[in-house]
Homo-oligomer: A and B are copies of this chain.
């Protein structure tokens, strides 16, 4: 008994065929005699049999496993999304494989390949470098996390970024700010360009020109936020407020502003987007736009499950989860 028992071992012990065992194991017990069921169950028990999902997957072409691909696992935004995903997936009997690409194009490609090679049933992805075509090529049921203008024809679940930026800017405008700096994130990433669009749209709607100097190109983390505010405060016409693409950047900006001797929010207002937990802990605490992280994950998972379990394609579902303004202490009316 070196290796694990198989259904054949169980069948022998129970005195039935392996087909019958298979039926019991899968819960297809409608057309199985009650005594057969009992004998199989007893045999499974005494042998310590555990179903081999690998063999099962080979035959059924279903793995009940999905991949979750995100750019940066250390951004506290993602674990909460992941939690929503996992809760829904666990309940449906699916496993979730994490793929943390760390902003790397090579890793993103490698993981996409892995997903096809391991025959993942589904994919939840916040795409960074990958193209629509590459994603389609995998033939894997996919839900995009976040809203990506280029990825129509895909299912998407994300915050309404346009609304988020509009709410943020409306608030800053109400406080009297007009010289607003933007830490938009590396422009090489798809999400940045869409945010850029949102910002220009807002300015256009207000009939105001947008000063390109106020838009800086930095990484999506605290280091990026630090670098960004440094650049902004070197301008001749220093901004009176800064809006960051996420809270991590905003927290970096907060720290760096303090280090440079500026008082937040007196000298400069700083605002983030996401509402990660740490945003409420800093001093000053961070004004931000709250994204419903858990719900995003949950809905994404639900939609993916729906898609995986129906053959027909159907029109792509695009769901935008609303954001809310959370006013704390890092913003201040312009005097």
Contact = CB atoms under 8 A, between A and B. Distances in A.
Interface residues of A, number: 44
Q: How often does this chain occur in the complex, in copies?
A: 2
A100 to B, nearest CB: 6
A119 B118 CA distance: 14
Nearest to A55: B58
Given A97-B97, A98-B82, A53 B281 contact: no
Main SS class of interface, A: mixed
B76 A76 contact: yes
Interface string A53-74: 1110110010101000000011
A118 B79 contact: no
Contacts of A282: 281-283
What are the 8 closest A-B residue pairs judged by CB atoms, nearest first?
Answer: A283-B283, A278-B278, A281-B282, A53-B118, A98-B98, A53-B117, A54-B57, A50-B116
Most buried by B among A51, A55, A82, A118: A118
Given A79-B79, A251-B281, A52 B98 contact: no
Contacts of A96: 97-98
Interface string A20-51: 00000000000000000000000000001011
